[in-house]
Structure 1
Amino acid sequence: MQHDDELIQIFIEEAHDLLEAINSHLEQWQPDLSRIEHLAPVLRELHTLKGSARMMGFTAFSEYVHCLEQIIQKLHDKAIPAHQNSCKEIQHSIDYLNLYIDALAKSKPLDDTEIPLEQLKNSLNSLQVSSKVTEVEGAEEQDLIVAGKHIKHKNEQQAGSDNIRLKSEVLEKFGKLSREINIIRSHLEQQLGGANELLVDMTKEIKLIQEQMRQLQVKADINLRMFQSISSEKGHDEFDILEFDRYSSLQHTTRTLVDKLNYLEQLEESLINVTRSLEALVVEQGRAARSLEEGITHARMISIDSIVPRLKRIVRQVSHELGKEVHFECIKAQGEIDRKILERLVPGLEHMVRNAIDHGIEPPDIRLKAGKPAYGVITLSMFRQGNEIVIELGDDGYGIDIEKIKAKAVEKKLWDPKAAMSKADLMQIISLTGFSTKEIVTPISGRGVGMDVVNAEVSKLGGTLRLDTQQNIGTHFIIRLPFSLSLNQALILVAGSQSYAIPLSNLAGITRMPVQEINKSLYTGTGRVKYAGITYDLFYLAELLGEQKWDDNQIAAKLLPVIFLQSDSEQVAFVIDKLIGSREIMIKPAGSQLRLVKEIIGVSLLGEGQIVLVLNVQFLIQEALMKVRKAEKNQENVLCPIPSVLKQHKTRVLIVDDSLTVRKVTSRLLKRHVYDALSAKDGVEALEIMAQSLPDIVLLDIEMPIMDGFRVLEKMRKDPKYKTIPVIMITSRAGEKHRLRAMELGANAYLSKPYLEEDLLMLLKKYQSQS
């Protein structure tokens, strides 16, 4: 049966609402099975779901719901006794209904043969019925389903809900229009500002002309009086001057000009009044636009606890599959979060919950031997803290075996066996693509979402992911995310030649420092400054971003702004080139060309039409502190966070890609990590560069004009000069045949775009020692 996409979407939304309500009622019933009043609303919701499924033509699904409805009806009528096993079976059936709807939402509906209807029917038939099943109270087949809401028969009419559903695309469209209104308003403000400046100039000019006219009029009067005096001496004074209106043409012209000038003054006053009225209207329009934006932002919000039923269901399903007893405890779930943030975070949270049950929680017998309860516990806390949402997910299981992780990392040549591994290093290792200590991938452990994807997604959202683990105590993850992806207060600044925005939520303070003092702190001092009693590591932001190196000789200003940023318990200070001011900005996702740049979480358009890049503060702080840790590990004499000229040889890396953006982004990444970067736009240019300057490592794209990557690789492996140079293929071609072809030709490694920076840096470190 063919279904209309819009109707299917309505059915899915309604089913999610109904199943969420059913789960809520069942949770109220489970602690005390004698309180059967909680089953009545469950029956009503199931009846509604059954009717909707029949209308959509999902016959097998509808029969399954009907069968479940009959079982619950028996429990409600006390025809069969209620016990925990029957409660669990009902919960498993509800979980299956959720799975069916989730599959339908992903456009991968289950076949009728996959619906365990016979199994449920057998359960129903095996029940000893002592009374006839009654009709579901208060529900009728004529009930209507309209826009995902259940409307009672006219004999049982209830007040309708004022809630309506809006597709996310509609909200996005409204949001875009709202942003355009704000941009237009900013343009109007600029135009009015320009008009006011013109009016000021106009007032000055009018006053200047008035003064000149006054002088001209005085001269005209003097000339006229001289003429009268001469005429009087010649006998022409028998007539009064006013009587004959004997004005000179010069005086007549000056009087006319004065009249025109007075009219011009009136026009000026009118223009000033109109401008003031327009300014007042723009202010009112700004208030209305802000209210509209706040309304749209609020409409994008969703209750934080809306994810709890879904996570509970995963805990039930996975623990049942693995034969473990796991309790899910939601300690706190307060406030709201941007729907888009939650949607992007859900797969990661689901993976972390599965991981906690599969890898973390021990089997009951092992837990008992360790002096723990037979059941494991997964805890969840979600709450708002300032302009951030904090999500804490923990378990009381094994904890992460750091030595096991280290051994696996050493085996994969990702870690030096002699080096100690901190928790920060541990987080970095388990976040690498494809890293796992599991020898066998199961349907639970291998669902296509790893900690690498979770960490990358959190970073893209402008958040941070931390972990704390203790052997035999458990593991605790802390995720911090921005409250909203849309409207944010931000600091606009200039670093190098580019304008950037930094969310004010991470700003601890701003000051100005003499360039001489900055230079001393960066290069000859400790590399640290104190602000409000806290010590900050000091960096030059433009250098960290790969824009330009610090050079005090090129700076004309005597003072430069320094911003102090904090994230969790970590803090860093950045020297910037110019401070523009604070603005309310709309953050838009960065395009595909910037998705590999981890320093950027989005872009924003200022009122004057200027595009600014929104910086990922958490990532920048981590990058900066990583440099500090490396400096401390290397026991450098100069504890300077910003590297000066390095005496040792830098690894030379040749980037071969026809995309200018890819070349620029990769070059900046390499320069930040103290590599020399060369670039070529095609294979021919790459071979020419290699003939002049031999690289240590080559990053090679496949699809390029003139000469593709495969041909370049083939030529390199045939030439004794280039034969041993490590080649890392970086391409959008993720297919197995391209990978095999590259390996046959002699590629050392193969990365698919978009890749994680950590993966590339690990490979560079690996082949750096071989080159």
Structure 2
Amino acid sequence: ALIAAFEARIRAQPVHVAAEVQLAATAAALPPLSAPVDEEAEAPAEEAIAPRAPQEQVRVRADLLDNLVNHAGEVAIYRARLEQQLGAFRAAMAELDRTNARLRDQLRRLDLETEAQIVARYQREQDSADPTFDPLELDRFSTLQQLSRALNESAADLTGLQGVLDDLARQYDVLLQQQSRVSSDLQDGLMSARMVPFDSVVPRLRRVVRQAGHDTGKQVQLRLDGTHGELDRNVLDRMVAPIEHMLRNSVAHGLETPAERVAAGKSEEGTITIALRHEGSEIVLQVSDDGRGLDRDAIRRRAEQRGLLKPGAVLTDTELDSLIFEAGFSTSEQVSQLAGRGVGMDVVRNEVRQLGGTVEIHSVVGRGVTFTLRLPQTLAVTQAVFVQIGETTYAVPVASVSGIGRISRERFESGTGGYRYAGEEYALHDLGLLVGQGPAKAEGQAQVPLLLVRAGDLRAAVAIDQVVGNREIVVKPVGMQIASVPGIYGATITGDGRVVVILDVAPLVRRHLAQRPAAEAEAQQQRHVPLVMVVDDSLTMRKVTGRVLERHNFEVVTARDGIEALEKLEERVPDLMLLDIEMPRMDGYELATAMRADARFRGVPIVMITSRTGEKHRQRAFEIGVQRYLGKPYQELDLMRNVYDLLGIARARD
């Protein structure tokens, strides 16, 4: 059929006869269209024609990649700062909206007042006026009326500008969300570029086990479970040496000789297992063997010889096992290249702690021992719990936090007993005392929040003022001077530009246990910072008065009107209140009356600061129970003199 078609085209176009004949001959040489196709023979031909391009790779210097990751972290910090500033801008816009509403209401009342004055004035001149015109139609307005009209136009312009600012804020919000997605993808890509497979160090670990078995004459098999996973390159580089030491320990101390294993009913060949798995933001690495387990009698004997343990002291198995982490500790009687030098497990624990991880031991006599290492997935970005003590915020890595709890204030202040969580007993501590900042008060809360911290054999329930939240942070290294301080893991930068210290709580608890009497004496000397509530509908008055009080070392909380003040009174009861009279929703008189009717707030001194300086207003305030009455504008010296007098604080001489 194809040849017939070509012949028809040749007859129709005789000019191209030679070319068409050549095409027809080529078509005749082809197999018929109905011939079966051999797919198996055809596939290799296609692969030969278009071979798959190999995946291209690029070698990048490690320091360059680390710098890129740090820059991505800086971008994330700047984005968080922009988001926080946008939130502050929205709060200012809401305040502007309330101010505009108040301005429009005042202008409306001003218009009513001026028009009433016009009508009253022309009624007096009605006899002499032209009866054909209404007084308002004569356009005989005073300068006051003209200014009120101009103010109305200005208020309308302000409302229009506010709408423009709202639109811009929404556009910035959308742009920040888009930038957030791109920044997260960039950071995830750079972090994945820093990840290396654990299998890359497996040949090295097999060689260590093989060499240790040859030196001790033991038969050892290394098993791997889940080692196809990936770790941060920095974490893996720093953990190779500790893992090698634990493998040598398992061969030298844990596994028995072939004869001893046969006598114990085991196979001649011992087994060491390395298991790797991911749990949330942590990497769990387990090194276990099926040997004899830890020799606790030898550990006790050597600890007593070195003075680490008093003879006859009662310790749990976990406490006894943790003694192998002491510096220079070894149960081996002979010193060799594998054991007896006392250098090893303390280095392992310190290295894991510097990475922000923990080490746990589980030993069963005659069945073996398991070392469980919990490490952060990456050293650049991690999850942290933000907690607050007073005005200071700290970050605690999630890897060391078991959970969040609460305890009654009476039970915590008594200090008796502990806190039980998930079947484990947690000793009670105070984070304020651990960092030398004064005890946690948790004011306005019926129960004291607890941060449950675990680190090896340590279980501590640490009291805090409040839990701010959980968020992803960029870990920044600190200088050598600060890094040498126990309990400081690093630092991070929050969205508002503040530097927040990342705490390692376990060393703080251990140091506090050794210095408990001194810490308690210092806590007794901490003075109470008075809390003053400023209630005023004017943003300027709230800011100015708040700054004056903060300059004199007072803690300040503000409210816009009486309703908001009552809501905040439910959270915290202030030591003193500065109150305005004229406010929307609930004025100062109503708030003061409500406070004097409530037994919880009846003892709070009240200072009224208002522009209503008449005797009638002053008398009504004193009848309600207000202690002081000041007029606006006030003098800072007069205000602070009344504040100090009401709080019973001796004033510092100028």
* TM-based fold match above 0.5: yes
Which residue pairs with 2:515 in the alignment? 671
C-alpha distance in structure 2 between counterparts of 1:326 and 1:466, whole Å: 24
C-alpha distance in structure 1 between counterparts of 2:295 and 2:248, whole Å: 17
Are the equivalent residues in 2 in contact too, given 1:540–1:576 (CA < 8 A)?
A: no
C-alpha distance in structure 1 between counterparts of 2:219 and 2:459, whole Å: 41
C-alpha distance in structure 2 between counterparts of 1:493 and 1:550, whole Å: 14
3-state SS, counterpart of residue 163 of structure 1: coil
Which residue pairs with 1:213 in the alignment? 107
Deviations, residues 342-395 of structure 1 (Å, cap 9, x unaligned): 221111001111222334444445555555444332221111233332222123
C-alpha distance in structure 1 between counterparts of 2:100 and 2:521, whole Å: 61
The equivalent position to 1:607 in structure 2, one of 490, 495, 500, is: 495
C-alpha distance in structure 2 between counterparts of 1:612 and 1:458, whole Å: 22
- How far 1:539 moved relative to its partner? 0.8
The equivalent position to 1:528 in structure 2, one of 418, 428, 433, is: 418
C-alpha distance in structure 2 between counterparts of 1:479 and 1:538, whole Å: 23
Which residue pairs with 2:195 in the alignment? 301
C-alpha distance in structure 2 between counterparts of 1:378 and 1:356, whole Å: 7
- How far 1:452 moved relative to its partner? 0.8
The equivalent position to 1:490 in structure 2, one of 384, 388, 393, is: 384
- How far 1:538 moved relative to its partner? 4.6
Are the equivalent residues in 2 in contact too, given 1:332–1:381 (CA < 8 A)?
A: yes
Are the equivalent residues in 2 in contact too, given 1:315–1:353 (CA < 8 A)?
A: yes
Are the equivalent residues in 1 in contact too, given 2:458–2:506 (CA < 8 A)?
A: no
Which residue pairs with 1:645 in the alignment? none
**For residues 347 and 598 of structure 1, do their structure 2 counterparts lie closer, same or farther at Cα, with a shift above 3 Å needed?**
farther
C-alpha distance in structure 2 between counterparts of 1:603 and 1:377, whole Å: 42
Larger Rg: 2
The equivalent position to 2:461 in structure 1, one of 569, 573, 579, is: 573
Which residue pairs with 2:429 in the alignment? 540
Give aligned-pair identity as a percent.
Answer: 33
3-state SS, counterpart of residue 493 of structure 1: strand
Listed as ranges, the matches of 1:598-677 within 5 Å are 598-616=486-504, 670-672=514-516
Deviations, residues 602-650 of structure 1 (Å, cap 9, x unaligned): 3222222233333336667xx58xxxxxxxxxxxxxxxxxxxxxxxxxx
Are the equivalent residues in 1 in contact too, given 2:362–2:370 (CA < 8 A)?
A: yes
Are the equivalent residues in 1 in contact too, given 2:450–2:462 (CA < 8 A)?
A: yes
Structural RMSD (CA): 4.0
The equivalent position to 1:435 in structure 2, one of 325, 329, 345, is: 329
**For residues 186 and 475 of structure 1, do their structure 2 counterparts lie closer, same or farther at Cα, with a shift above 3 Å needed?**
closer
Which residue pairs with 1:181 in the alignment? 75
C-alpha distance in structure 2 between counterparts of 1:498 and 1:216, whole Å: 48
3-state SS, counterpart of residue 352 of structure 2: helix
**For residues 317 and 673 of structure 1, do their structure 2 counterparts lie closer, same or farther at Cα, with a shift above 3 Å needed?**
farther
Are the equivalent residues in 1 in contact too, given 2:195–2:232 (CA < 8 A)?
A: yes
Which residue pairs with 1:476 in the alignment? 370
Are the equivalent residues in 1 in contact too, given 2:358–2:400 (CA < 8 A)?
A: no
Are the equivalent residues in 2 in contact too, given 1:542–1:576 (CA < 8 A)?
A: yes
C-alpha distance in structure 2 between counterparts of 1:223 and 1:563, whole Å: 67
Are the equivalent residues in 1 in contact too, given 2:390–2:440 (CA < 8 A)?
A: no
C-alpha distance in structure 2 between counterparts of 1:251 and 1:676, whole Å: 70
Q: Which amino acid aligns with 2:481?
A: Q
The equivalent position to 2:475 in structure 1, one of 569, 582, 587, is: 587
**For residues 352 and 551 of structure 1, do their structure 2 counterparts lie closer, same or farther at Cα, with a shift above 3 Å needed?**
closer
- How far 1:598 moved relative to its partner? 5.0
- How far 1:459 moved relative to its partner? 2.1
What 5-or-longer segments of structure 1 have no aligned partner?
1-154, 625-665, 679-771
Which residue pairs with 1:290 in the alignment? 184
What 5-or-longer segments of structure 2 have no aligned partner?
1-48, 523-654
C-alpha distance in structure 2 between counterparts of 1:674 and 1:249, whole Å: 74
Are the equivalent residues in 2 in contact too, given 1:496–1:547 (CA < 8 A)?
A: no
C-alpha distance in structure 1 between counterparts of 2:409 and 2:316, whole Å: 36
Listed as ranges, the matches of 1:161-560 within 5 Å are 161-225=55-119, 233-234=127-128, 246-364=140-258, 367-368=261-262, 372-419=266-313, 422-438=316-332, 441-445=335-339, 450-470=344-364, 473-495=367-389, 498-504=392-398, 507=401, 509-520=403-414, 522-523=415-416, 527-529=417-419, 534=423, 536-542=425-431, 545=434, 547=436, 558-560=446-448
Q: Which amino acid aligns with 1:475?
A: V
- How far 1:446 moved relative to its partner? 8.2
Q: Which amino acid aligns with 2:318?
A: A
Are the equivalent residues in 2 in contact too, given 1:460–1:598 (CA < 8 A)?
A: no
**For residues 569 and 214 of structure 1, do their structure 2 counterparts lie closer, same or farther at Cα, with a shift above 3 Å needed?**
same
Are the equivalent residues in 2 in contact too, given 1:459–1:619 (CA < 8 A)?
A: no
Deviations, residues 636-690 of structure 1 (Å, cap 9, x unaligned): xxxxxxxxxxxxxxxxxxxxxxxxxxxxxx7x57414989999xxxxxxxxxxxx
- How far 1:504 moved relative to its partner? 4.0
Which residue pairs with 1:710 in the alignment? none
**For residues 400 and 180 of structure 1, do their structure 2 counterparts lie closer, same or farther at Cα, with a shift above 3 Å needed?**
same
C-alpha distance in structure 1 between counterparts of 2:132 and 2:433, whole Å: 94
C-alpha distance in structure 1 between counterparts of 2:356 and 2:84, whole Å: 31
C-alpha distance in structure 2 between counterparts of 1:614 and 1:296, whole Å: 23
C-alpha distance in structure 2 between counterparts of 1:406 and 1:447, whole Å: 18
**For residues 333 and 280 of structure 1, do their structure 2 counterparts lie closer, same or farther at Cα, with a shift above 3 Å needed?**
same
Which residue pairs with 2:566 in the alignment? none
Are the equivalent residues in 2 in contact too, given 1:462–1:617 (CA < 8 A)?
A: no
Are the equivalent residues in 2 in contact too, given 1:390–1:479 (CA < 8 A)?
A: yes
Are the equivalent residues in 2 in contact too, given 1:179–1:586 (CA < 8 A)?
A: yes
- How far 1:255 moved relative to its partner? 2.6
C-alpha distance in structure 1 between counterparts of 2:172 and 2:290, whole Å: 63
Deviations, residues 154-197 of structure 1 (Å, cap 9, x unaligned): x9997242333333322332232222222222322232222222
Greater CA deviation, 451-460 or 193-202?
A: 193-202
- How far 1:559 moved relative to its partner? 3.4
C-alpha distance in structure 1 between counterparts of 2:518 and 2:106, whole Å: 68
Are the equivalent residues in 2 in contact too, given 1:182–1:607 (CA < 8 A)?
A: no
- How far 1:456 moved relative to its partner? 1.1
Q: Which amino acid aligns with 1:615?
A: L
3-state SS, counterpart of residue 174 of structure 1: helix
Deviations, residues 687-743 of structure 1 (Å, cap 9, x unaligned): xxxxxxxxxxxxxxxxxxxxxxxxxxxxxxxxxxxxxxxxxxxxxxxxxxxxxxxxx
Listed as ranges, the matches of 1:78-157 within 5 Å are none
